[in-house]
Each structure stands twice: as C-alpha cells, then as structure tokens.
Chains A and B, each alone.
Chain A
Amino acid sequence: MNRSSDLLLDCQGLTRHFGGLVALDGLDLQVREGEILGLIGPNGSGKTTMFNVVTGIYGAHGGRVEFDGNDLTNATAQQVYRSGIVRTFQRSRMCLELSVFDNIMVGNHRRLNHGLWFNLFKRGAFADQYKKNYAEAHELIEIFDPPLAERLDFPVDTFPMIDRRRIEICRALISHPKLLLLDEPSAGMTHDETMQLMDDILTVRKRLSGLTIIIIEHEMGVIERITDHCVVLNFGRKICEGTFKKVSTDSNVQEAYLGVE
C-alpha cells in the first residue's frame, strides 16, 4: 500500500506534555487526501490533544506537522485556519446568542473582506457581499436540513443539539477547507440523531469533492460506518492502525479498552 503519495497531513513524532503528564508521546499520523480517518482510543489517550496541537491551540513540545506541503509546526490557530484546516469542538462552541447566519459567517472569515473602509463606507459593496454569502450559507445548510435553511435569522440557542451540530459543521465547511477535524460529533445526541448526522456528513462530502475528514468518536457504529481507516491511540502513542475491521480485532486495542484478563 502506497501511503506517502497523496499525503495531506503528516505528523511526525508529535509530543506534548502538561507538567509531568505526557499527553502525546511521539505520535506519527498520516492522512491521505480524500479519506475519512477515525481517531479512537480510551478517554485521556490524547485524541483531543492531537487536534489541539494540530490546530495551534497548544504548541507542540516536539515533532513536526506538515500539511499540504507546508510546515505547520507550532503555527498559530489563525495560520492553521488560513491553510485550510477547520474543526468542530467536543462541547459544541457556538455563539448561542447570535443568529445561525452569524455563526456560519464566523467560519467564513478568510473569505470575507474585513477592511475598515470597505465595512464602514462602502455599504453598497458590503450589501452585495452579504447577499452573496447569505445565499451560499443557505445553500450549504439546505444540504443538511432544508427547514433549518429557512431559519438562518434565528438565534442558535433556540435550536436542539442536532441542529447546533449541523450549524457547527456548516460553520466549518463554508470556507471550503481541505481538512475537517470532527471532535466527537455524537456527544449529547441520541443514537438515531448521530446516524442522521453521519448521513448528512457523507452527503455533504459527496458535494464537496476532495474533503478529507479526521473524526474522533466513541460510538463504534459510527466509526465502522464512515471511516476508511482507523488509528488507535493509548497514552499518547499509536498502538494500532488499519481498517476498522482490523483494529477491532487487534489484541492491543482490546487490551487498551478492556484491560488485561
């Protein structure tokens, strides 16, 4: 299997500690363009820390991150976003009092004109840009849920969890990123809602050809259904890699999850 030809994200020896605790311990992780990679492992195994280091929320204490041919080691969160990596959060982080449209536009930051002169004085041009983006947000969220698209002007705190997740994923996708990091999208939702959301994600992915996804998930049904490839972490190290079928029968993985008899 040739895994180096179309590498999108390449992490080599990624290390991060918090005081004496080693959260990431020389982690190697490769993601190919267009694949869906499942990142699994017991609680505290370093999955979210890996997202935080890649997206620039935490600095790395060792190792390298290369994305799409550029070195993103210790890049700021802003640089990471501009290079085309977006994420969702385990505890959905939305601006609850702002409207759905506002929240989606936060994700569109790199494609909006933030010039002072443009925003304050060229109101005609601003109105055009606003209308264009409104239509675009409408179109994107319609793929997820048509009724939701008619409620772009409602505050996010009036929506149930599944809609908030949809909005959060739209916020991530509106700027046409190359890599989407999903941090436990099923958290706070029922089994049926989770499956519905996964269908939505697969539909959107078909429309946005070439979108690569890394997903952290505890629901193995989800992992089995949507991932092409899985990486299992434990104590900040990669203990197994392969298709879901392969990793689920691996003795190391079973030991990490269930302990040794």
Chain B
Amino acid sequence: MSNKIASPSLPISLAVIALGTAFAILFLGAENEYLIGSLLVFVTLAVVASSKFNILNRMYATFAVHEVLMQAAIVVATLLLVAWFYDDHFSLLMITAAMVYAIAAIGLNIQFGYAGVLNFAGAAFLGIGCYTSAVLGQYTNLPSMLILCLGGLVAAVIGTILILPVLRTSGHYAALVTIAFSILFKTFLEVNDVLGGPQGLNVKPTVLFGWNFNTNIEIRDEFEASFYLCYALLALFLLALAFIFTRRLERSWIGLSMDSIRLDETASACYGLNIALWKSVAFTFGNFLIGVAGAMYGQMLGYVAPSNFTFGDSLILVSIVLLGGIGNPWGVITAASIVILLPEKFQIIQEYRFLLYGIVVIFILLYRPKGLLPRQLRNYLPGGMKA
C-alpha cells in the first residue's frame, strides 16, 4: 500500500483517461503486427515517462478527492470505446470478454486479495456458471437475467462443498484442494453425457425485454450495429455492479475483518473474529461473482465445452489478480484488459500465451510484488469525506 505524497490533479488524470481510451481504440483497431508492436513500445515508454513524473500517485490522489467524477469518467471512456467499435464484431467480443474476466477476477480478488483464501479453481466456477446458463436455457423458460443470478448462486452453492476442506487446510494445501477440484470438474464434464461430454452444450442467447441479444441492431437500412454491442453494455453494467459491491465490502467492518484474518489469524481470533465465517463468506461471494460472469459469458459465446475451463484458465484468472495488484479492483480490471486483449491482437504470442503469462507472473513477483496498481489504504468513506 504505497503512500507517497502527491498532489491531486483533475486535468492530468482526465487527460490520462482520455489518452488511455485513444490508445485502446488505436490498439484494438490496428490491423498489422508492426503497428501493434510500435504501439506496445509507445505504451512502455509512456509508462516509464509517467512514473518519472509521478503520474500514478497523482492519479491515486485525484481518485481520493474526486472519486465519483473519476469513476464516471472511466465509465464514459468505456462507453466511447464500445461506441467506436459499434459494428466491429471481433473488437466488441474482445472488450466484452475482458470485462467478463474482470468480473470473475474481482470475485477471485475478494477470496484471495481480502480474506487470503487461495482459489485455483476459478475457471471451474466460471464453467459452473456457463453450464447453469446452458441447462436452464435449454430446459426452462426463465428470464435471462434470472439465469445470470442463478449461475452465480449455483457456483456459490457448489463452492460450499470446498469450504470444509479449504478451511481445514492452510496455505499450499488449501491451494492443492482447489487445484484438485478444478481437475475433477473438467474430468467430470468430459465423461458426463447429460452435460454433453467433450462436445459441450449450446447456450441460449440473452433475452431482455423481449430483445434477443443475438440479433444485429438495424435502424432502417442506414445504421447497423453488431449484436455484441448489447453484450458489451450488459457486461459493463454487471462489471459496475461487481465493482460497487466489492468496494462497499472493502470499505466496511467486514472488509477490515477479512484483511485482518489474511494478515494474522491468531491475533484476529484473540479479538473475536470468526475466521471460518469470514473465509466462507469471502469464498462464497467470490464464487457467486465468478459464476455470474460465467453465465453471461456462456450466453454470449452460445456454446460451452469442458476444454474452455481447464486448470490453465484458472491460472490466467490468478495471474490477472497478481498482475493488477492484489486487493485493488481497478488494478484487476486493468490487468484483465491486458491479459485478454494482448494475445488476441498480437497473434505471434498467441501460441506462447501460457509461457508469456508465466514470465509475467515471475517478473511481477520479483519486481513489483504489489502489482501494477498497488492497493491503497482503506478509505471507509468515498472520496474526500473526512471523519
């Protein structure tokens, strides 16, 4: 939790957000690898330059004072980005996938970043959400939004069978329990015919107020937008909800209890904190968010198969939290964008994706153990309010 003194500056912070948006538009729109390569060189230089001018700390300071305004600016920037690519299927799919992973990583962050519960089965819970979406869509007529909630609930409920072994073990052993679950889950799906076996299942698209999300938006013959636009807006909405949820959780006595348990279980117990309770709550909330993300992802992709939810995918989720900054939802969102978008645009590294993630995690742990955007001290009240 860095605490360097820096003066807030609204113009600089808004300019950084604007530049970031412009960069994202250029990056997502870039067609050839040379352009993408030079953009990456540019962003590296920009990051080095901004650290020279203490830009990051000034942005943190600005967030502390103008929190609502800054958050609104980022939402507007995302809307602009989505609007820019209104008819580009691929870019919208990428943006939405990044947001879905960000929701899941926020869930993982509650478990791992707050309460210190390791979960290497993130992809399995994402899969549970997806499969819930597929099965409920096929056999029932429930509204899509309810299915999203149920996807989260089913993930949370199935997660409870892991709570006991996770609570009774600690550290590496708890991690092993979740790794085992992740492998069991994939194997179960592959041999289970009811859930489609290795081929998987089709998932019905999202329907809201009678509008099927899988239809392109056409206004007369002049205007046509990609159907992914709806999914992108839905993902943004869900991400905003997940963000508000995790922020309120962090800025409460519950968030404090979770932090205390992560940092020192014995001292926490001596001050009456119920360690098992708060770990279970964090684990369940986290799985719920991951499940909702999975249910939405399934509806967007239209199909679900076991091979999407391997142990490797769980590692990607964990590396997002490590890269972004353990405990900081903004960091997690930034990291999700990097981890999802970079390999898709930079096809050369697509094959070596996992190798790259491995290297990134090692570098982060060595040189920036608190992540790209380290978590700040807790502010119980939003931006600028003092006790």
Is B381 within 8 A of A127, CB to CB? yes
CA distance A56 to B267 in the complex (A): 12
CA distance A106 to B269 in the complex (A): 10
Q: Given A57-B269, A127-B381 in contact, is the A119-B264 Cβ separation under 8 Å?
A: no
Is A93 within 8 A of B266, CB to CB? yes
CA distance A55 to B271 in the complex (A): 10
CB distance from A230 to the nearest CB of B (A): 25
Is A155 within 8 A of B377, CB to CB? yes
Closest to B245 in A: A120
Q: A77-116 toward B: CB 8 Å interface, digit per residue (1/0)?
A: 1101110001101000111111100100111011011101
Is A95 within 8 A of B264, CB to CB? yes
Tell me if B378 is interfacial: C-beta within 8 Å of chain A. Answer: yes
CB distance from B209 to the nearest CB of A (A): 26
Chain A residues in 8 Å Cβ range of B3: 154-155, 158
Chain A residues in 8 Å Cβ range of B272: 77-78, 81-82, 109-110
Residues of A108-134 at the interface with B, using a CB-CB cut-off of 8 Å, are: 109-110, 112-114, 116, 119-121, 123, 126-127, 130-131, 134
Is B248 within 8 A of A119, CB to CB? yes
Give the A interface residue count (CB, 8 A). Answer: 44
Tell me if A153 is interfacial: C-beta within 8 Å of chain B. Answer: yes
Is B271 within 8 A of A171, CB to CB? yes
CA distance A93 to B378 in the complex (A): 20
CB distance from A72 to the nearest CB of B (A): 14
Residues of B234-273 at the interface with A, using a CB-CB cut-off of 8 Å, are: 245, 248-249, 252-254, 256-257, 259-260, 263-264, 266-273
CB distance from B68 to the nearest CB of A (A): 13
- Total contacts A to B, CB within 8 angstroms? 102
Is A57 within 8 A of B270, CB to CB? yes
Chain B residues in 8 Å Cβ range of A135: 387
Is A131 within 8 A of B387, CB to CB? yes
CB distance from A245 to the nearest CB of B (A): 33
Tell me if B274 is interfacial: C-beta within 8 Å of chain A. Answer: yes
Is B271 within 8 A of A81, CB to CB? yes
Chain B residues in 8 Å Cβ range of A110: 272
CA distance A113 to B257 in the complex (A): 11
Q: A138-166 toward B: CB 8 Å interface, digit per residue (1/0)?
A: 00000000000000011100100000000
CB distance from B248 to the nearest CB of A (A): 5
Q: B261-291 toward A: CB 8 Å interface, digit per residue (1/0)?
A: 0011011111111100000010000000000
CA distance A155 to B263 in the complex (A): 14
CA distance A100 to B254 in the complex (A): 17
Is B270 within 8 A of A81, CB to CB? yes
Tell me if B380 is interfacial: C-beta within 8 Å of chain A. Answer: yes
Is A98 within 8 A of B377, CB to CB? yes
Closest to A78 in B: B272
Contact of A116 among B254, B267, B273 (CB under 8 A): B254
Chain B residues in 8 Å Cβ range of A86: 270-271
Is A120 within 8 A of B252, CB to CB? yes
Contact of A98 among B252, B269, B274, B378 (CB under 8 A): B378
Contact of B253 among A113, A134, A171 (CB under 8 A): A113
CA distance A126 to B252 in the complex (A): 8
Chain B residues in 8 Å Cβ range of A113: 253
Chain B residues in 8 Å Cβ range of A153: 377
Is A123 within 8 A of B248, CB to CB? yes
Tell me if B75 is interfacial: C-beta within 8 Å of chain A. Answer: no
Is A120 within 8 A of B248, CB to CB? yes
Is B270 within 8 A of A97, CB to CB? no
Is A120 within 8 A of B266, CB to CB? no
CB distance from A205 to the nearest CB of B (A): 20
Chain B residues in 8 Å Cβ range of A102: 256, 259-260, 377-378
Tell me if B180 is interfacial: C-beta within 8 Å of chain A. Answer: no
Contact of B270 among A55, A99, A116, A130 (CB under 8 A): A55
Q: Given A78-B272, A154-B3, A171-B271 in contact, is the A130-B254 Cβ separation under 8 Å?
A: no
CA distance A86 to B271 in the complex (A): 7
CB distance from A57 to the nearest CB of B (A): 6
Closest to B378 in A: A102
Is A109 within 8 A of B249, CB to CB? no
CA distance A232 to B253 in the complex (A): 41
Tell me if B49 is interfacial: C-beta within 8 Å of chain A. Answer: no
Chain B residues in 8 Å Cβ range of A114: 253-254, 257
**Other 18 A-B pairs with CB < 8 A, given A127-B380, A153-B377:** A57-B269, A80-B270, A86-B270, A87-B270, A94-B267, A97-B1, A97-B263, A102-B256, A105-B256, A106-B257, A106-B271, A109-B271, A110-B272, A112-B253, A126-B380, A130-B387, A155-B377, A158-B3
Please list 10 pairs of residues, one from A and one from B, whose beta carbons are closer than 8 Å in the complex, sorted by A's number: A57-B266, A96-B263, A105-B253, A109-B273, A114-B254, A116-B254, A120-B252, A127-B381, A130-B381, A154-B3
Interface residues of A (CB under 8 A from B): 55-57, 76-78, 80-82, 86-87, 89, 93-99, 102, 105-107, 109-110, 112-114, 116, 119-121, 123, 126-127, 130-131, 134-135, 153-155, 158, 171
The 5 closest A-B pairs by CB, nearest first: A119-B252, A134-B387, A81-B272, A77-B269, A93-B267
